[in-house]
Chains A and B, each alone.
Chain A
Amino acid sequence: MVTFKLNGQERSFDGDPETPLLWVLRDFEKLTGTKYGCGIAQCGACTVHMDGTTRRSCITPVSTVDGSEIVTIEGVTGKEADAVRKAWVAIDVPQCGYCQSGQIMSAVSLLQMTPKPTDADIDGAMAGNICRCATYHRIRQAIHDAADILEG
């Protein structure tokens, strides 16, 4: 039995301990905001926060999250998340949207650690989040805008 905190609530899972966290989120918890992209940690669509840092849920056996705190796109809160949401909506960042929950989880994590990121900081944090629609220029702009919102 694996027990962990999911978006602030205690949850448990008693299936195969090797089940990827992404499967648990989508199929058992019905939290489908986190996406399956590649299954090999190359695209970033499945990004969640695990104990305060980004984690690719597709290559995370659920056994390894025992006792951890997981936050998904459905549960991410705080001033950085609020600023990112506002900035994302303001310039219509998504195109097809499939990668966006992963992009947002990485962007929020970056801003939590680096409130005023440079272009290089953004490139470094977002390098593992691929966008097939190539909305990268808007993602970068929105992260700068979110940083400005945070600065007030």
Chain B
Amino acid sequence: MRRNIAFISIALCLAVNAAVVATNISFAQDKSVPEKDSLKPASAFQSISDEKQRSVALFEEAGKVIQHPRCVNCHPVGDRPLQDIAMHPHQPPVSRGEAGMGLPGMTCNTCHGAENVKVVGQAETIKSIPGNPNWHLAPIEMAWEGKTLSYICKQIKDPQRNGGKSLDGIIEHMAHDDLVGWGWSPGEGREPVPGTQKAFGELIQAWIQSGAACPS
């Protein structure tokens, strides 16, 4: 009798374990990265033989990052940054001020420190305050909000609107700038931009090496 109970117990344990494993697998599958959250590597575009078409395709892929709210929120068309995945106006109502660092008495670093900070208050929507040592708004001539990818593409290449950067300077900025890199590590409660900064930098590099063509 005791043996039978032991046997049933073992069988039950195995069944429960199997169910747990199955649940984990199914959970892992559910968590697979959706298409919009993934970033194809530059190598995925090598099969496009027409160089211009390849270049356009590379930039369109990079556009998943460029047009993500995490990036556009600090490239607003007005003086007030945007916030959240819904891209609502920044709350509190701050303004770009000189050099995109805010206004006297209410500069960006009044709230944004050198790194992301988990908040102590209980809030449904704000889990952390984003931060970076260089936290600031992109200059108005670099506004991306509401622009098409075609417009942004031409804008990024234009030294009058890209901070005087050469094409190599653009690669360096996209691939290595620390504030750009924040987009992949935006802090608790925030969806990161797709892929990695390395993969994004390689897309931009491949785009420029293939002629930096823009989508029509």
Contact = CB atoms under 8 A, between A and B. Distances in A.
Interface of A: 18, 20, 23, 38-42, 44, 47, 53-56, 58-61, 64, 106-107, 109-110, 113-114, 121, 124-128
A55 B123 contact: no
Contacts of B118: 18
Identify the 8 closest CB pairs spanning chains A and B, nearest first: A39-B121, A125-B105, A110-B105, A124-B103, A113-B104, A128-B92, A40-B121, A41-B111
Given A121-B103, A124-B95, A59 B119 contact: yes
B126 interface: yes
A124 B120 contact: no
Contacts of A110: 104-105
25 contacts: A39-B119, A39-B120, A39-B121, A42-B91, A55-B109, A58-B119, A59-B117, A61-B117, A64-B113, A110-B105, A113-B105, A121-B103, A121-B105, A124-B97, A124-B103, A124-B104, A124-B106, A125-B103, A125-B105, A127-B92, A127-B95, A127-B106, A128-B92, A128-B106, A128-B111
Interface of B: 91-95, 97, 103-107, 109-111, 113-114, 117-123, 126, 129
A18 B201 CA distance: 33
Contacts of B122: 39
A64 B105 contact: no
Given A40-B123, A127-B94, 8 more contacts: A39-B121, A40-B129, A60-B117, A61-B117, A107-B105, A110-B105, A114-B104, A121-B104
A47 B94 CA distance: 16
Contact of B121 (A58, A113, A121): A58
Contacts of B113: 59-61, 64
Contacts of B111: 41, 56, 59, 128
Contacts, number: 85
B103 A55 contact: no
A20 B94 contact: no
B105 A124 contact: yes
Nearest to A105: B105
A53 B119 contact: no
A98 B40 CA distance: 52
A13 B129 CA distance: 23
Contacts of B120: 20, 23, 39, 58-59
A54 B119 contact: no
A47 B117 CA distance: 17
A59 B129 contact: yes
Contacts of B123: 38-40
Nearest to A60: B113
A14 B94 CA distance: 35
A58 B126 CA distance: 14
Interface centre among B92, B93, B110 (most CB of A within 10 A): B110
A125 B106 CA distance: 5
B117 A54 contact: no
